[in-house]
Every structure is written in C-alpha cells, then in structure tokens.
Structure 1
Amino acid sequence: MAGLFGSSSTASQANTLGDLSKDVALNNPPSDSISDLSFSPQADYLAVASWDNKVSIYQITANGGSEGKAQIAHEAPALSCAWSSDGTKVVGAGADKAARMIDLNSGAVQQVAAHTQPIRCARFFNVPASGAQMLVTGSWDKTVKYWDLRQSTAVASLDVQDRVYTLDTKGPLLVVGTADRYINIINLNEPTKFYKTMQSPLKWQTRVVSCFGDSSGFAVGSIEGRCAIQYVEEKDASSNFSFKCHRDPPQNNITNVYSVNAISFHPQHGTFSTAGSDGTFHFWDGVAKHRLKGYPSVGGTIPATAFNKDGNIFAYAVSYDWSKGYANNTPQYPNKVMMHPVTPEECKPRPSVKKR
C-alpha cells in the first residue's frame, strides 16, 4: 500500500499540485506558536489556541478578512480549543491543568475542568441519549474526564494507559490516542468503558486522531510520515489501510520523514487533509485511496488545521511545532494562520467512487 498515493507521472503531479496564491493571513495572529485551530459549527468564527497562554476567537469575513472578537486567558500555554454545537461557547485547555469556557453572548469566562497534569485535548459532545452538551478532556495525568458544564467536578473519569496525546469525537464515537501507541475507542453511550483498545496500526508515536464524519472510523497520524485509516467494526476491517505521506523523495538510500501533525475531514465530502512538519498539506480521498491535491511548502511547520462548516475555507497554522527541539525555534520563524479558499475540485471525491 506504500506507493498507492504516489505517482511518477509528471502530468499527474502537475494535475494534483495545489495553488497557495489566494491564501490570506489572519489579522493580528497570536504572538507565540499555535497549538490548535477550531471553526464554529454555526458561523465563520475561528478559535486559535497558542503558547502565549490564550485562546483567541476571530470572525472571518467573506473576502478572507478577519477581526479579533474575544479571548480566553490561561495561566500557561493553551494546547486545545473547541466550540459548542450551538456556536455560543468556546472552551480552551492547556498546560495550566485547567479548561476554561467563554460564553460569547455574555463574554463571561469560567473554569469548567481541572486535572492534575496539563490538559492536552478538550472537546464538546452531545450525550447520545439526551442530546445534552458535555465536555470531555484528556490529560497527561493519564485520565479522560467528562464534565457537566453546570458542575465543578467531573461526572465521570476513565483511566487510560498513558498520557493523552490526542482525542477526537463525532456522534457517539470517542477516540483517544495515548503515549506508547495505545488507541482507545469509546462508545459515548457507555462513556466509562473501552469499546475497544488497540495499538496504533502505525509503528511510531501517535500525533493525531481524527474521526470520520459518519462515526464509522478514524484516521491516525504518526511522527514518521504515515497516516492510517481505521474502521471501528470488524466487518469493515478489510477497508483499513495505511499510507506514507510527508516525506522527502529518497536520496542516497536516505529518506527524510516528517511528523503528521493534523488531520481534518471535509464536512461535506468525507475527504480529508493531512499537514505536517515538512510544511506541506495535502487533500486525500480515503475511499478511492488517492491524493486529490498536494500543496507547496508554506515556509514553516504546520501544527494545526481546520475546515469551516461549509468546507470552503481551510485554515492552517504556520508556526514552530518543536519537531526539531529547542535550538530550531528562532525569532525569525514564521507564526501565522492562513485561510485557504477551497474549491470543489480540490476536495471532491472522484465521481466513480461512492462517498463515505
């Protein structure tokens, strides 16, 4: 499966080369590295979590303009941000071991979660039975906790094998990736049980998990330039596969490989993006198993990406991701968020392929 997405044809490569010339920079971006991006599910508002201890919320206008609207102040780097389903609230979580939520209607900020170690990820979800909105947090304290936003203590907690590096949720599906390549699949109808636990299909450290739009499975990205498509149920296991990406062509039997930092699914088409430490992003059709578009280097590593609700804006951060350690984080390193206008031909599956 390794060469499946590759192509040696020059014509094919030219056909799949994307254009960055219309990409627009976010006004007044954070002053330090960006760790997470999240678009509102209701309107073109973007939340940005960053190492300057803030989650900043921007309104994106039709012509690609942007304006800062609100902020959540943390006491240490913000590592994660997410929107409530009605688009009225944003949660931030981070190295201060707390999750904080802003109500955009009132501007009020309150602490809504706490762990004993940094919180790596926070996501809203709707309780399957009642539809009530709750929060799930994953921490380096090796726990996943569930929060009713009206209470100051967690309503439930789940011990996992190691530090939580990444989690994502869609519908009743929650996927949690930890250190040591464990991946836990949880059915939110039974949130304190593992529906399944597995080792990552990839041989190296997990960087990101991202759920399919229909909750039938998820994608995994690793530090070693690979992505895996994984279905939850055994009956779909024949559709599981992994592929190489974010790596340089081999030279003298040496291949430079890069971390896959972010995977975002298109909200309409079920296609997805990968972005990495090589400073490139790509759009893929996972069902047809081919690359739709690959884009030139953006001039710095890409730590986070997000599609807006309509799938016609793709936001990507360009800032240092610490993949080469402290010494490579120079004052000259770019630190920005770019808006890429997405056309249907960039992200639509091939017509002959059934959609996920």
Structure 2
Amino acid sequence: MAASAAYLGELVEAPPADGISRVIFSQTSDLLLASSWDKSLHLYDAVTRLPRASYPHQAPVLDCCFENDNTVYAAGLDGQVKRFDVQTTRGAVLGTHGKGVQSIIFLPAQGVLLSGSWDQGLRMWDPRMAPGQNCVSSVPVPGKVYAASAGKERLVVATSGRHVLIYDIRRLAGGHSPEALEQHRESSLKFQTRSLSVYTDGRGYALGSVEGRVAMEFFDAADAQANKYAFKCHRRNEGGKDTVYPVHSITFHSGYGTFATGGGDGVICIWDGENKKRLFQTARYPTSVASMSFSRTGEMLAVASSYAYEQGERDHPPDAIYIRAVQDVEVRPKARKPAAA
C-alpha cells in the first residue's frame, strides 16, 4: 500500500506553459483536453502521454469540453466561446458573454453547449445553427458563475453569494427558461463555492468550498433533509496550526460512483460517499491539484498539478499533468458491515 500511495502518475509531455484551469477526458476515447492561462487549449493522447494538437485562444482559457473526438470547445477570460475542429485545428466563435466564461458543458442529448459567465448569465448554444441565431436560451443568474455540472436530467450552477441553482435541462434547452428552474438553494457551506459535480446516479451533487469542506446534497426534498451531510478535507497541520486549503476539483468514478477531491494542499482523496468513508489518499503532488478527470473506464485519472495562488504570488513548481493508473482497491466501495444484533 505504501508504494501505491507514493505513486503520482506518469507526466504528460509538453504541458501547458501557465496555470491549468481544467483537464477533462473524452467519453469515447483516451483523448484528454487541458485549458490554460497560456491562451491555448491543448489536446493529448493519455495512453502515450504525447501532445496531439494545440488550439489558440485570444485570452486565458478558463474551461474546455468535448462534443466528440472531432469537435472540442473552449471559453476564456475574454468572454468568447469557441468551437474547434480537432483535425484542422480551425476555430470559430460560437458566441460571447459580456465577461469571462467560467464553465462550459456540452449536453449530448440536446446537442447544445451550455456556458456560464461572470456576467451573471447562462446561455445555451446550438452549434448546428447559424452564428447570431444559435443562442437558444439565455438565463440571468444571481451572481457570477463559479462552477456548473450536469447529469442527464438536471444542471446545477453555483454562483457568488453562495447561490445554488438547479435546472431541468430539457426545459432549459427547449427555451422554457422560467419553468426550468426547479430549486434555488443557499449553499450549506459557509464560504465561497470552488467546485461542483453531479453524482453518477443523478440523485444529487457534491459541492466543494474554499474552506476545505465538501457538502453532499440531494435533489429530492425528502432525501435532502434526511441524507445530506458535509465533511472536512484538505487540511494540514503546519507548524502546529491547522492550515485549510480550497477543494479545487471533484470528479466521480463512472463505475463505482465513488469520487475524488483535489485540493490546494496537493493531495487527492478518494471517498465512498454512500458509506461516508475515505478510501484512499495519494502522496502530495508538487503543488495544488487544480483539476482532475477520470477516464471513461475509470482506469486512469488525469491530474493537473498547477499552483492556484492560494497563498498569493510566490515561487512555485512548474505546471504539470499526470496520468495516474487507478487501482481497483482505491475506488471500489467497501462492503458495509452488518449492524450488530
């Protein structure tokens, strides 16, 4: 177990040259996207760990996603949402926001791209329609969008002011914006939302904050009251003081429904949310774990080791992407012990 705990993964060649904002796997192959403050979107083959292509943007890139292995998207600090052809590397502006775009998600069932911005707005873009006519939904939200995640039926958006908004995706994509908002909640965590991910089974979502906490929430009102809980993580005793780090990334394992959290302490923890247990913890990465993504089979975990300026301007290790082979014992839930008679 000790040897496994020390294993961080294999380094990707030619990583982004500045802060890495997102790593995300394709759901149909072992291709990996990485967005960066170096004003580029990067595509890698996760098996060979070699770069496949780079796509230029006009400003730092804050998020990225796949439509499929031939088409990818990026959005950045300049408010532009761009669509790129993987083979030709040609890009086109799909649409724009008034301020930086923090989150983009491609919704395959609807064939549309969702973007959430610091301009306090959500928009849905249909890439099959002509530019200027392709915004099929535009929804104001009560604050800057900090994080977003989607399941098959619901979209969850976290904004400044600790707002959490839950939408019916079908109504939102169909242009029925007022009816699409199912719930408007206040985060159960006291401080700013940093990360968000919908459960694999679609029953709820995990919310991470800057104060090293994760809240496990449920969509159904009865479940929400009976089963929700929160826990502390990504904290370390330094010089006799408890230092708290942000939870930068939450990603679920598609096979088991367990999940990983990555923090500013450079550590990844894997959790069994159903049984409220920590299954595994890695050794420390060189710097902050800024983003993570499980591959479609759950056999690989992409890790962006990239300083996230939790402690302001300072010297820090270079940005890097690791591909970590996931061992089954690290992510498989442990059988719950029967209650004593």
TM, length-normalised to structure 2:
0.92
1:318 and 1:150 map into 2 onto residues whose CA distance is: 36
Q: CA deviation at 1:159?
A: 0.4
Deviations 1:161-204 (CA, angstroms, capped at 9, x unpaired): 01001111111110101011111011112212311011111110
Distance in 2 separating the partners of 1:20 and 1:121:
32
Question: Does structure 1 residue 133 correspond to structure 2 residue 111?
Answer: yes
Find 2:236's aligned residue among 248, 257, 263. 248
- Alignment partner, residue 13 of structure 2: 27
Residues 273-292 of structure 1 aligned to structure 2 (within 5 Å): 273-292=260-279
Determine if the alignment matches structure 1 residue 99 to structure 2 residue 81. yes
Counterpart of 1:156 in structure 2 is: 137
What residue number does 2:120 align with?
142
Residues 46-125 of structure 1: matches in 2 within 5 Å? 46-61=32-47, 65-84=48-67, 86-125=68-107
Q: After superposition, what is the alpha-carbon deviation per residue over 1:84-106, rounded to whole angstroms, capped at 9, x for unaligned?
A: 1x433211111021111112245
* Cα distance per residue 1:15-41 (max 9 Å; x no partner): 699523361000110111100011000
Give distance in 2, aligned partners of 1:116 and 1:180.
20
Question: How many Å separate the matches in 2 of 1:45 and 1:20?
Answer: 25
1:180 counterpart residue number: 161
Query: Equivalent residue for 2:305?
Result: 318
**For structure 1, which runs of at least 5 residues remain unmatched after alignment?**
1-14
Gaps of 5+ in 2: none
2:185 counterpart residue number: 198
Aligned to 1:308: 295
Question: Which residue is equivalent to 2:151?
Answer: 170
Bigger fraction of residues in strand: 2
Contact 1:17-1:294 at 8 Å conserved across structures: no
Q: CA RMSD in A?
A: 1.8
For 1:190, what is the secondary structure of its paired residue?
Answer: helix
AA of the residue aligned to 1:149: P
Q: Secondary structure at the match of 2:127?
A: coil
Counterpart of 2:318 in structure 1 is 334
Q: Secondary structure at the match of 2:329?
A: helix
1:342 positional shift? 0.2
- Distance, in Å, in 1 between the alignment partners of 2:149 and 2:321 is 22
- The sequence identity of aligned pairs, in percent, is 30
Aligned to 2:247: 260
Distance in 1, Cα, partners of 2:186 & 2:3: 34
The alpha-carbon deviation at position 250 of structure 1 amounts to 8.2
Q: Secondary structure at the match of 1:189?
A: helix
Q: Do 2:8 and 2:322's aligned partners in 1 also have CA atoms closer than 8 Å?
A: no
Find the aligned partners of 2:69 and 2:255 in 1 and give their Cα distance.
Answer: 19
Query: Shift in Å at residue 66 of structure 1?
Result: 1.4
One-letter amino acid matched to 2:171? E
